[in-house]
Structure 1
Amino acid sequence: MNNQVLNTLTLLLLLTTSVFSFSQDLKPSNLFGDNMVLQQGIPVPVWGLSLPNDSITVIFSNQYKSTLADSNGKWMLKLEPLQANKTAAEMIIKSKSSEIKITNILVGEVWICSGQSNMQMHVDNVPDVKALTPLSENIRSFDVKRTVSFKEEDQITGKWKIGNSSSAVASAFSYYLEQLGDIPVGIIHASWGSSSIEAWMPRDMENDFMYFKDIMFDFDKDTITKNIIKKSLNAPNGWSQKEDIFMRQQPNILYNAMMHPLIPFASKGLVWYQGEQNTRYISGVPTVSESNRFHRVIGMQEYSDVLQQWILNYRTKWQNPSMHFAIVMLPGYGKGTVKKRDIDPENPTEESFAWMRASQLQALNLQNTSVVNTIDLGDVNNIHPKDKLPIGERLALLAAKNTLSKPIVAEGPMLKSVEVIDNRLIVHFKNSNGLKTMDGENPKGFWIADKTKHWKLAEAKIEGETVVLSHTEIETPLYVRYAFAGKPSVNLVNEANLPAYPFKTK
């Protein structure tokens, strides 16, 4: 073959490659589709693909915004803040050669709902939540396909629909939020059972936590695990249940496929119902072995720092420092850690979900966060309780108060201070107007101790907006723990019948 022929073939190959590389026509992100909800009150990014250097115009709500695609065909622009609107509207996205029309768009509150199995629990499995479906107006939902990726993806798989999410918690939340706010609600649901917080952590959190860097280092060189995942993803008839469990319990790769493509879709906040997978250990990260290869996750006591940094990381990625995070406290459950599974579910010294709840409550150290109290809910024998309706309702109360500025009571009593008077402890609370018990009996779930730290179930009485604690065997009480157990018996509420938050002073 002479040089002239070779040069001609090379030129043809380059031209062909160029055509295939830049053949994409106008295509917005899959998050922009018929029946969607756009977030009110903040700039709204709109993005997608087109031909390189193409001129893109987005028309919506009397706004005309234009931009140029980059050399790879990627484009993004931002709409000015929108006003809530229940009247369906349409968006037009235009390039030089194409036009796309997106119809039946509402403007209101958009929330991402994520986590593991208790967020994933289907609405069909919770009859009292499913009963709300015909009553839900102006609610739209986008259920993200459950999958994984070894790299951060730009595109998401899913579709907006009219009506509730498949998630029972998300459905109850959206129903009550629509009622309280009198506003359209859009839910983006991205959850997967058995997933740890590490599964939803972006790769750059290696810079924050050495344990995560170590996990990802080992994951990168684990060719056996990667080949199993690749085989599962490419299976012609889909993956098996065993493969499903294997994939969802790996680090980082759920974030890559199911969360990263949502950035920077405008939303008010994120509801996070996760933690069960991180309760196997009170502290630390176990060494990997065949028996616990899926359990290499942070323990309950360190979860606090990881959760807070995770929130800050997501806010940075969304370029929204006021993005609200609503954490669902783990409800009552009567089993312990790997160290000791069978525990006394009411004893405050056992290694139980109590330690995870304490870590979850530390999220309140950050601005624009809330924690839904579920201490009166749950099932002593079932880690997947069915009482999802009150969780959704309490989420909506917190969102309505904290993000819509509704003048409502949204939280139960929270520890303010403890006063020592003689042989008694006086517990003062915030949010304590109308302090009472649900059953008219004395408050339950209070334990006290002196310097020996031998805990005794306290005699408790309500006096005004305080609870007075004592025990005949403790002359000088110093410390108190309330509802700090796996599945405590509790009955203390405020005027809104919202339960008191668990706490410990030692």
Structure 2
Amino acid sequence: MNMNRVLLWLVCLGFGSLGNASAEIRPASLFQDHMVLQRDMPVPVWGTADPGETVTVRIAGQTKTAVVDSSSHWKVTLDPMPASFEGAAMTISAGSETSGIQFDDVVVGDVWICSGQSNMQMGYGGIQELKDLESSAKNIRSFHVKNTVSFEEAETCGGTWKVEVPSSAVAFGFAYFLEEAIEAPVGIILTAWGSSSLEAWMPRDMTESVPHFKTMMDEFDADEETRQNIQRILDGPRPWKGGEDIFLRRQTNILYNAMMHPLAPYACRGLVWYQGERNTQSMAGMLKKPWFSRNSGMLIYGDVMKEWIKRYRQEWGNDDLHFLVVMLPGYFGKKLPTGPRAVDAESPDAHSWAWMRESQLQTLDLPHVSVANTIDLGDVKNVHPKDKLPVGKRLALLAQRDVLAMDVVAEGPVMQKVDRDGGELVVHFTNANGLKTTDGADPMGFWLADESQKWVRAEAKLDGNTVKLRSSELSSPLYVRYAFAGKPSVNLVNEAGLPARPFRSDDFQP
């Protein structure tokens, strides 16, 4: 390690300041040894240095320069590079110096940010089928963003690029199956923290587009006791106590400031998002108690998330930045908001996670968004199910089809339309080649209703690539709901074995 890199390391740890112009170069946190740069697209490289200085970045035959602005910031943009498994060196220097800071073993491949709450953070150590993949994993690198918070948008974050798979079960599975399918290294940037709400990952300026978020931020700014408690925890000893950790990660905005903002605009294919559980504590949102339920709730989550996706694309300066969203799997293990209706794991008329899934699917209104269907997965009583391998596999298939334009079957049957045929309803699907059930029985999970809004189980029969529905309790059914429950029993798949997407054909309000 040369002297400039030693000095840079000392500055990052707070042990001193660099004494000359070239030593004052401070690249952004993600630029390190063993990093993965994004292939086939422009690659920003940025940092800080003395105003007026000229910074030069060199890698793979490219030389780019930039003059540091009056706020001490600089940025160059590398030309698109092809994938490379062979590690190269990147040097960043100032003025006439040619050596500067050097980062070694830099490869070029596909980079994905994996973020969300506990089911993204959850490790794979207790999942044997993922542990069995460790020995065959290759060409995967990871950067785990240190969990912390900040009152202001931070320019740096903690973390180190490692030549090893990510600790997250979902991120590892995704990276493993993606790397198997492409001729390129895969880099995973993992930034996740359990029990965090969508609002925890929102920049402050979204108060302009999301009214309830403005209310939350106004309350946060006025709550001096909470702010002092946060600062006390940050100033105190590490590791934090359990209650302190939980208190920090359930706040609004300040996770984004510390754990997402420093990553932009690092070039990447997109962001994998597994979050939503924290926002399921109410239907309409903004509960007063408990305090950490001050969030969107299930019914408006979809609209808020669409605003969030658009804002992140602005942050990265990339309208094509792809979002892979993990649908919440089956769960009904604790009391959920019930309203006037009975709570039942199979009922299509309960205030259940079905409404959150519907909100998540609303993000498909935007281009460059995919949703991984997990309706056949999950655990009725465990909010942290272990069946993470199929989640990673389905995410990788979506990335192959929707981002890399590969010819793969990436999702199961999707309702196209519902026709009435006498006393029956006929459901037509896309992605339905080889429509079948996993157990050879009739399809499960279908319910029918008429204008009375009383839902009854349907008798379902396969007919080619359609499903015909009827019920002896309804002479003229009008509406159908499929897998629209907390933890439905389902068996309908296509020839690829991928599950049919939940849906409802009615517009009844909960």
Q: Same fold (TM over 0.5)?
A: yes
Amino acid at match of 1:79: L
| Partner residue, 1:4 | none
Match for residue 293 of structure 1 among 291, 294, 312: 291
1:39 alignment counterpart: 38
Aligned twin of 1:452? 452
**Residue 188 of structure 1 corresponds to which residue in structure 2?**
189
Q: Distance in 1 between matches of 2:199 and 2:230?
A: 17
Q: How many residues are paired up? A: 486
- Structure with bigger gyration radius: 1
Q: Greater shift after overlay, 185-194 or 64-73? A: 64-73
State whether residues 42 and 82 of structure 1, in contact with CA within 8 Å, keep that contact through their aligned partners in structure 2. Answer: yes
Equivalent in the alignment of 2:63 = 64
**Distance in structure 1 (CA, Å) of the matches to 2:321 and 2:147:** 24
SS at match of 1:294: helix
> 1:448-498: CA deviations, max 9, x gaps?
111211111100010000000000111111000000000000000001000
CA shift digits 1:89-128 (9 cap, x unpaired) = 1111111256111111111110000000000001213222
Q: Supply the AA of the counterpart residue of 2:459.
A: E
Tell me the CA shift for residue 284 of structure 1: 3.1
The one-letter code sitting in structure 1 at the alignment partner of 2:264 is I
Q: Which letter maps to 2:58?
A: I
Q: 2 CA distance for matches of 1:29 and 1:136? A: 28
2:493 aligns to what? 493
Secondary structure, counterpart of 1:150 in structure 2: coil
In structure 2, the residue matched to 1:275 is 276
Q: CA offset at residue 38 of structure 1?
A: 0.6
Distance 1:24 1:231 in 2: 33
Structural mapping, 1:41-440, within 5 Å: 41-96=40-95, 97=97, 99-286=100-287, 288=288, 291-335=289-333, 336-339=335-338, 343-440=343-440
Q: Can you list the C-alpha shifts for 1:12-69, whole angstroms capped at 9, x where unaligned?
A: xxxxxx9999996122112011111111111100011222211111111211111111
Q: Distance in 1 between matches of 2:322 and 2:362?
A: 15
Instruction: Give the 3-state SS of the residue equivalent to 1:384 in structure 2.
Output: coil
Q: Is the 8 A contact 2:174 2:393 kept in 1?
A: yes
Secondary structure in structure 1 of the residue aligned to 2:401: helix
- AA aligned to 1:321 is D
Displacement of 1:182 after TM fit?
2.7
Whether the 8 Å contact between 2:327 and 2:371 is mirrored in structure 1 is: yes
Distance 2:395 2:18 in 1: 50
Q: Matches of 1:34 and 1:22 in 2, distance apart?
A: 22
Q: Any conservation in 2 of the 1:347–1:485 contact (CA below 8 Å)?
A: yes
Partner-residue secondary structure (3-state), 2:175: helix
Inter-partner Cα distance in structure 2 for 1:23 and 1:226:
38
Cα shift at 1:242: 0.2
Offset at residue 238 of structure 1 (A): 3.4
Q: Give the Cα–Cα distance (whole angstroms) in 1 for the partners of residues 106 and 326 of structure 2.
A: 29
Query: 1:464 and 1:107 mapped to 2: Cα distance?
Result: 46
Structure 1 gaps of 5+ residues are 1-17
* Alignment partners' CA distance in 2, 1:125 and 1:63: 45
Q: Which amino acid aligns with 1:253?
A: I
Cα distance in 1, alignment partners of residues 387 and 18 from structure 2:
55
Whole-angstrom CA distance in 2 between matches of 1:392 and 1:384? 15
**Aligned partners of 2:451 and 2:478 also within 8 Å:** yes
- The SS at the match of 1:399 is helix
Distance (Å, rounded) in 2 between the aligned partners of 1:416 and 1:21? 65
Q: CA deviation at 1:236?
A: 2.6
Output the CA distance in 1 between the equivalents of 2:178 and 2:18: 49
Q: Provide the rounded CA distance (Å) in 2 between the counterparts of 1:410 and 1:106.
A: 28
State the secondary structure of the residue aligned to 2:24: coil
How far apart in 1 are the matches of 2:337 and 2:490? 26
Report the Cα distance in structure 1 between the residues aligned to 2:267 and 2:375, rounded to whole angstroms.
32
CA distance in 2, matches of 1:191, 1:342: 34
Conserved? CA contact 2:166–2:190, under 8 Å: yes
Deviates more, 1:422-431 or 1:333-342: 333-342
Structural RMSD (CA):
1.7
Q: Secondary structure at the match of 1:228?
A: helix
Once the two structures are superposed, residues 244-298 of structure 1 have per-residue CA deviations (whole angstroms, 9 ceiling, x without a partner) of 1011101000000000000100010000000000001111322x3xx41111111
Range with greater deviation from structure 2 (325-334 or 337-346): 337-346
1:110-156 alpha-carbon deviations (Å, 9 max, x no partner): 00000000000012132221221221111100000000000000111
1:14 match = none
- Number of the residue aligned with 2:7: none
Deviation of residue 87 (structure 1)? Answer: 1.6
TM-score by length of 2: 0.93
Paired with 2:51 and 2:182, the residues of 1 have a C-alpha distance of: 42
Question: Secondary structure of 2:44's match?
Answer: strand
Map Cα deviations across residues 289-340 of structure 1 (whole Å, 9 max, x no partner): xx41111111101001001110000001110000000100000001452447
TM-score norm. by structure 1 comes to 0.94
User: In percent, how many aligned pairs have the same letter?
Assistant: 52
Q: Deviations over 1:350-381 (max 9, x none)?
A: 11000000000011100000000000000001
- Greater displacement, 53-62 / 463-472: 53-62
How far apart, CA to CA, are the structure 2 residues paired with 1:70 and 1:305? 38
The CA distance in 2 between the partners of 1:284 and 1:237, in whole Å, is 34
Query: Is contact 1:447-1:457 (8 Å) kept?
Result: yes
Contact 2:21-2:53 at 8 Å conserved across structures: no
The residue identity in structure 1 corresponding to 2:417 is: S
Question: Which amino acid letter does the alignment assign opposite residue 135 of structure 1?
Answer: S
Q: Report the secondary structure of 1:148's partner residue.
A: coil
Out of 174-183 and 390-399, give the one that drifted further.
Answer: 174-183
Partner of 2:13: none
Give the secondary-structure state (helix, strand or coil) at the position aligned to 2:149: coil
Label 1:169 to 1:321 Cα distance change in 2 as closer, same or farther (>3 A).
Answer: same
